[in-house]
Amino acid sequence: MLIVRNCFVARPGHATRLANQLKDTIAAVGMPGARVLTDLTGDFNRVILEYEVDDVAGFEATMKEYQTNPVFREKMQGYTDLWITGSREILQVA
């Protein structure tokens, strides 16, 4: 199993809006087990979208699905305006 973390540093004043947009999106597209986290001790305004996949093939399938899913695309519209930088971590559960 892999854990995928999409980590964003939101523009000042936009972390809550970004977190809410991510939560609304995962609810609309049905990402079971996905969650949105906000960082209490690291970078200011950091928002993380975390979810699990079985393997790298599952991650690739998820990415392809979201690129073509009209509900996902609609819900995520404008999210790039809410953050300054981002990164992705893919972690293997030991």
Helix segments in 1-94, DSSP class H: 15-29, 56-68, 70-75
**Average confidence score pLDDT of the chain:** 94
Cα of 4 vs its chain's centroid, Å: 9
Return the SS3 of 87. strand
- Name every residue whose Cβ is closer than 8 Å to that of residue 61 and which is 6 or more positions away in sequence: none
Query: Model confidence over 61-85: pLDDT tens digits?
Result: 988 988 899 999 999 999 999 999 9
pLDDT band at 41 (very low <50, low <70, confident <90, very high): confident
Range of the domain at 76: 2-92
pTM for the full predicted model:
0.89
CA distances from 78 to 13, 17, 91 (A): 15, 11, 28
Question: What's the domain count of the chain?
Answer: 1
Question: What's 66's domain CATH number?
Answer: 3.30.70.100
